[in-house]
């Protein structure tokens, strides 16, 4: 919503109250004049920026015309204050760049008590819509603007990159919506206020709101703000070109509120004084706002909604909301704050710099003495503002921002509404905003600040006194601040940019490499298409049109990439193989991904491309042996040179959490298609052409439905014209049974169809490894297919995939009726399918595998999460694993027969992740955490193991820092310093330096790599100097040997078993240490070492010291320190 810019807004021209006997008449005349001027001003056909300039001109040059107005007087006071501020600024020069403040994900739960109800504005423009495709280019979303931003002045923080949520698509990534709700709730927000776009009955960008309202997994409140402006081409400077106009009429008023009522009835809809809150962005644009408000109120009373609570933003109109018939108004900073741009605050980096620069720090200071409003006014705050992503060198930027100052402003706003409103439901503060990335006004996580803005939001809202913040950097270690490592670079080659499977695979490659693995990614496209903007979000796009781009230009483009540091490439599909020689000319190493079976290779004449890949690629990757062997035999005529078998992973995860969800999805689909609830659905998905075999699907459907009329078949996807005719011909002569076949066409969200289905019919004549089949398994839906048509047959087992000998409809009918009639077998097949999808098809894991094939420094890390009754800590634990800057390869969650809902929580948190994972439940409690360690390590497939205890968490760079040491093949153990955290998540200490001070403080203030014998002699000989296993990484094979060989010895210790493990690991290789506190160790008051220390524990420690003394050469000094530690502990007995 580009109507919202800084500067002078459409303020009301209210007049001052006159003196004397004639005051009443003068007051009346002035009031009428004020209203008339206000009405004229609102309807002037100027864009907002022009109105600001006109108002400023009048105030400066014609003050005698408006000096009687309150608006002018407020403006004059602010101008005088700013003049003084500019004088002070000129004496000290340009402001320094805002110092980035980074915060890790907090371990604290939602605050128990909050000062106010904080509502964050939420922009839904993070998915493509046809209108934006037409106006701004195919694939346009808010990210299109965000990614094109560049610094406009020295120290300018642009472009801004998202944090853990990535460049999300609100429709393709439903788990993002759920994660947004969880983060907002954890950090103290009360709800989101979605912008709602209604243009005389036409609605835009509504799909995320509909999904939010319908998603039963989201329990976070929401309300709607009607963004009732017309849309124009403001972003590219053509403000007068209207793209979508408003047409306010009495009939439209009723149509609007009637439609809105579906949301007002939603149990998640936010209420004030028991009434649903309805907000209007610019009530001044309504021809008769009072009449509109009364129509809405009357309709709601008459139609079961009851009373509504009407409020408006002061984005442009500063007026008593009663003038509009509304109940209240809310501030909307930075709009209407009376600020003026200031010169000299920044140093531009180019001559065409025309940005307006404002001093944000004025806004929090102003909140120190809020004026008492004459009407109901909710406070508003904004963390920062920078719309150069949209306006580039003509943007508006607020400098001097910071999380601490924002927290203070929010706290003052919250205290203000708490003092002024007796009804707690009216104590509202609006935050602008949750996700206005292109306006630089977001509080959701970004790479630079992490969770700093969310952390500041919590601190501003919580009722209790702020906890003291720990600043460990200079206290815990002696390391100089490290400059960020340069981002590594890689190329992805895609044959064109059309909206088809291989192209979406490439797009998700690019997105994951950029946002998850931290690479700069360049895309080389062999053709154009509608996904062009989507690829450009993540980096440069080079279009090399075969037959259209000259040889010289093509070589120049690839040479330029090589010169810029792009030395490795992933060539996706045989259709892109023709570019391999051009990459090789520039010594760009590549791997190739081959998806095509011989029929497609022949049809598309790709034989030469496959030969080029075989000759030039470092490795050629196949999803299955079927694809490798058939192409080798039928295309190459010999074995592939360097083949690798690796299924590509599932990039679109929208499966179910548990099989219990299928019943609800089934019931919903029965209602949608008007079939009995006894029906069972068999699904097909994809673009319906000859290769996909929709004609086979129809024949299978008719045969199966004839055998069992309760079976209904649904093909989700557009049909090719020739296939649509063929299917209609098949169905038209089938009689009544044809009613059991449904062809609804393309549907955006396929997840609900998979969840509702009892089986999936993979009818492709040839399909190497279709994602649709894996998506079906991920929804607990077994697959039926024909032998020899693709690699999914490799997954056959326990009924999850049934491989038919041929495409005979009667044969299919027999098998599907048999499985669906046996509930035990169906349950077993569904469960096995879920396990396969989760444990083998993590897309992030697959991308890591591809990088390792290119010898990139991406270690293969297995995470083991031992858990017992820590359900309440799992959101923090798992989020900190998934959000690592060095992605993990697999997660193995081990539940030791918890009595809480740990397993259900873990399933919910992991089911949409893009990492391979397994959830393993013990039938009975093992009684030993070390038994769980051993079990997890035996299941792990990574080279490095991280035992991440369920109640701890890690900083984003923990893995990147600790795993770097394993580039030395002799390192067996790598660990970092740890924060000490209370059971409630508060940081008690930024290190364990006090704990190791008696061993030798200097040792742990610097990084080191040392022999295992040295770690024993100068650390472990005194005490367990690795106090928390969550802060430790192990080389898996070494740890496996220790646990296999010494398990009885380890289990003989009650509190020192981990110390024993470390001592034995010293015999396996070197120890590496980093002094940065990147692990968060939760210290529970009820733990054995804290609350139950006694003689038995003392005896164990003495035994461990003696044991280490046998393993290492401990000098006299360290022996004395060991004795001193025992004496210190004896005092606790």
| Ramachandran region, residue 479 (left: φ > 0; alpha: ψ -120 to 50; beta: rest) | beta
CB burial readout 886-897, b (16+ within 10 A) else e:
bbbbbbbbbbbe
Tokens of 1060: 């024993």
856-1130 under CATH 3.40.50.10860, yes or no: no
Contact between residue 455 and residue 444 where contact means Cβ atoms under 8 Å apart: no
pLDDT one-digit tens code per residue, 370-422: 999 999 999 999 999 999 999 999 999 999 999 999 999 999 999 999 999 99
Q: Are 336 and 4 in contact (CB under 8 A)?
A: no
- What is the C-alpha to C-alpha distance for residues 803 and 797, in angstroms, rounded to an integer? 10
Assess if CATH 3.40.190.10 describes domain 661-840: no
Of 209, 147, 2, the C-alpha closest to 534 is 147
Here the tokens at position 1038 are 């070494």
- Please, is 336 exposed, middle or buried when counting C-beta atoms within 10 Å of its C-beta (0-12, 13-18, 19+)? buried
CA distances to 160, 174, 455, 956 from 167, in Å: 11, 13, 21, 18
The single residue listed with the structure tokens 């390192």 is: 971
- At 763-811, the pLDDT tens digits run 999 999 999 999 999 999 999 999 989 899 999 878 899 999 999 999 9
Three-state secondary structure readout of 859-896: CCEEEEEEECCCHHHHHHHHHHHHCCCCCCCEEEEEEC
> Domain 489-645 is in which class?
alpha beta
153, two tokens = 């002045």
The stretches in the chain having pLDDT less than 70 are 1-57, 59-100, 234-240, 465-484, 1085-1092
pLDDT of residue 10: 28
Question: Which is nearest to 801 in space by CA: 779, 786, 817?
Answer: 786
Termini Cα distance of the chain:
67
Q: CB count, 10 Å around CB of 777? A: 29
489-645 with 661-840: one CATH topology?
Answer: yes
Nearest to 410 by CA among 468, 456, 467, 476: 456
Q: Tell me, what DSSP letter sits at residue 234?
A: G
Collapse the DSSP code of 1007 into the 3-class scheme (helix H, G, I; strand E, B; otherwise coil) and give the result. coil
Domain layout of the chain by residue ranges? 117-469, 489-645, 661-840, 856-1130
pLDDT at 466: 47
| Rounded Cα distance, 507 and 837, in Å | 21
Strands of the sheet with 489-494, listed across from one edge: 541-543, 520-525, 489-494, 568-572, 589-594, 620-622, 643-645
Residue 121 and residue 430 in contact, taking contact as beta carbons nearer than 8 Å: yes
Residue 1124 φ then ψ, to 5° = -65, -35
CA atoms within 13 A on the CB side of 959: 25
CATH of domain 117-469: 3.20.20.80
CA nearest to 646, candidates 794, 861, 488:
794
Dist. CA 506–CA 519, nearest whole Å:
15
Determine contact, residues 1081/979, Cβ cutoff 8 Å: yes
Q: Which structure tokens are listed for 94?
A: 């340009």
Q: pLDDT value at position 502?
A: 87
């Amino acid at each position: 919503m580009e109507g919202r810019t800084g500067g002078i807004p459409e303020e009301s021209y209210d007049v001052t109250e006159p003196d004397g006997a004639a005051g009443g008449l003068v007051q009346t005349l002035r009031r009428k004049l004020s209203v008339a001027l206000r009405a004229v001003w609102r309807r002037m056909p100027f864009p907002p920026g022009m109105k600001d300039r006109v108002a400023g001109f009048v105030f400066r040059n014609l003050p005698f015309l408006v000096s009687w107005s309150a608006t002018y007087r407020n403006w004059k006071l602010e101008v005088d204050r700013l003049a003084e501020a500019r004088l002070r600024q000129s004496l000290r020069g340009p402001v320094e760049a805002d110092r980035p403040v980074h915060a890790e994900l907090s371990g604290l739960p939602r605050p128990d008590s909050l000062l106010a109800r904080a509502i964050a504005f939420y922009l839904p423009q993070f998915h493509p819509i046809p209108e934006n495709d037409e106006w701004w280019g195919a694939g346009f979303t808010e990210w299109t603007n965000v990614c094109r931003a560049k610094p406009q002045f020295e120290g300018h923080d642009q472009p801004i990159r998202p944090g853990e949520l990535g460049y999300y698509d609100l429709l393709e990534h439903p788990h993002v919506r759920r994660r947004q709700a969880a983060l907002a709730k954890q950090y103290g927000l009360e709800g989101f206020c979605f912008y709602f776009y209604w243009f005389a009955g036409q609605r835009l960008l509504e799909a995320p709101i509909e999904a939010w309202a319908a998603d039963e997994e989201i329990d976070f409140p929401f309300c709607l703000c009607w963004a009732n402006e017309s849309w124009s081409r403001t972003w590219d400077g053509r403000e007068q070109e209207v793209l979508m106009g408003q047409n306010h009429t009495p009939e439209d008023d009723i149509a609007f509120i009637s439609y809105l009522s579906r949301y007002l009835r939603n149990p998640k809809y936010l209420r004030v004084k028991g009434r649903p809150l309805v907000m209007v962005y610019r009530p001044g644009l309504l021809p008769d706002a009072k009449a509109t408000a009364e129509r809405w109120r009357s309709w709601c009373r008459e139609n079961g909604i009851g009373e509504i609570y009407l409020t408006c933003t002061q984005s442009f109109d500063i007026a008593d909301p009663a003038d509009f018939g509304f109940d209240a108004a809310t501030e909307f900073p930075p709009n209407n704050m009376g600020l003026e741009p200031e010169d000299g605050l920044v140093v531009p980096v180019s001559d065409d710099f025309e940005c307006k620069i404002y001093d944000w720090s004025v806004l929090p200071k102003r909140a120190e003495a809020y004026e008492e409003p004459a009407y109901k006014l909710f406070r508003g705050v904004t963390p920062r503002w920078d719309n150069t992503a949209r306006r580039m060198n003509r943007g508006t930027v607020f400098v001097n921002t910071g999380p601490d100052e924002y927290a203070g402003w929010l706290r003052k706003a919250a205290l203000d509404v708490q003092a002024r409103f007796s009804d707690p439901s009216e104590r509202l503060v609006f935050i602008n905003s949750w996700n206005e990335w292109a306006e630089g006004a977001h509080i959701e996580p970004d790479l630079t600040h992490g969770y700093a803005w969310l952390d500041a939001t919590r601190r501003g809202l919580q009722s209790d006194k702020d906890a003291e913040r720990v600043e460990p950097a200079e206290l815990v270690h002696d390391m100089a601040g490290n400059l960020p490592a340069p981002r590594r670079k890689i190329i992805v080659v895609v044959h064109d940019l059309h909206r088809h499977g291989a192209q979406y695979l490439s797009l998700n490659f690019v997105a994951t490499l950029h946002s998850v693995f931290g690479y700069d990614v360049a895309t080389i496209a062999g053709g154009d298409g509608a996904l062009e903007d989507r690829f450009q979000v993540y980096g440069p796009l080079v279009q090399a049109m075969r037959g259209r781009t000259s040889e010289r230009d093509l070589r120049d483009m690839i040479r330029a990439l090589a010169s810029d540091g792009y030395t490795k490439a992933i060539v996706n599909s045989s259709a892109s193989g023709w570019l391999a020689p051009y990459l090789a000319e520039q010594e760009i190493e590549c791997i190739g991904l081959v998806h095509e079976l011989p029929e497609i290779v022949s049809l598309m004449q790709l034989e030469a491309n496959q030969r080029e890949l075989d000759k030039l690629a470092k490795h050629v990757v196949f999803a299955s042996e079927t694809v490798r062997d058939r192409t080798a035999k039928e295309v190459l005529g010999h074995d592939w040179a360097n083949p690798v078998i690796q299924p590509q992973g599932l990039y679109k995860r929208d499966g179910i959490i548990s099989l219990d969800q299928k019943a609800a999805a089934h019931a919903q689909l029965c209602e949608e298609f008007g079939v009995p609830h006894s029906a069972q659905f068999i699904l097909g998905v994809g673009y319906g052409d000859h290769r996909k075999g929709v004609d086979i699907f129809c024949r299978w459907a008719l045969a199966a439905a004839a055998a069992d009329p309760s079976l209904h078949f649904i093909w989700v996807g557009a049909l090719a014209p020739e296939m649509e005719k063929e299917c209609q011909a098949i169905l038209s002569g089938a009689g009544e049974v044809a009613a059991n076949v449904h062809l609804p066409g393309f549907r955006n969200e396929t997840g609900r169809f998979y969840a509702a289905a009892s089986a999936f019919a993979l009818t492709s004549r040839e399909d190497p490894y279709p994602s649709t089949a894996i998506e079906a398994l991920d929804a607990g839906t077994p697959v039926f297919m024909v032998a020899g048509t693709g690699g999914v047959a490799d997954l056959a087992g326990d009924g999850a995939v049934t491989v038919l000998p041929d495409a005979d409809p009667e044969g299919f009918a027999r098998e599907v009726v048999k499985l669906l009639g046996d509930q035990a077998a169906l349950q077993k097949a569904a469960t096995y399918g879920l396990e396969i999808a989760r444990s083998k098809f993590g897309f992030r894991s697959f991308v890591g595998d591809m990088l390792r094939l290119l010898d990139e420094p991406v270690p293969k890390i297995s995470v083991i999460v031992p858990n017992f009754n820590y359900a309440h800590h799992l959101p923090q634990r798992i989020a900190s694993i998934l959000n690592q800057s060095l992605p993990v390869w697999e997660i193995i969650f081990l539940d030791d027969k918890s009595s809480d809902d740990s397993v259900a929580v873990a399933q919910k948190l992991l089911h949409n992740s893009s990492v391979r994972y397994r959830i393993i439940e013990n039938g009975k409690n093992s009684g030993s955490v070390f038994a769980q360690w051993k079990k997890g390590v035996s299941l792990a497939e990574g080279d490095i193991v991280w035992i991440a205890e369920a109640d701890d968490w890690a900083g984003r760079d923990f893995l990147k820092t600790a795993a770097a040491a394993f580039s030395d093949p002799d390192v067996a153990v790598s660990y970092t310093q740890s924060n000490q955290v209370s059971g409630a998540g508060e940081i008690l200490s930024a290190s364990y330096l006090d704990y190791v001070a008696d061993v030798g403080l200097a040792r742990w203030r610097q990084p080191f790599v040392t022999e295992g014998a040295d770690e024993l002699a100068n650390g472990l000989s005194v005490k367990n100097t690795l106090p928390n296993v969550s802060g430790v990484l192990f080389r898996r094979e070494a740890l496996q040997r220790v646990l296999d060989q010494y398990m009885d010895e380890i289990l003989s210790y009650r509190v020192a078993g981990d110390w024993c493990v470390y001592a034995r690991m010293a015999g396996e290789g070197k120890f590496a240490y980093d002094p940065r506190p990147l692990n968060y160790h939760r210290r529970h008051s009820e733990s054995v070492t804290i609350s139950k220390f006694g003689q038995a524990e003392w005896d164990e420690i003495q035994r461990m010291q003696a044991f280490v003394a046998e393993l290492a050469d401990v000098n006299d000094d360290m022996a004395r320190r060991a004795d001193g530690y025992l004496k210190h502990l004896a005092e606790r007995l």
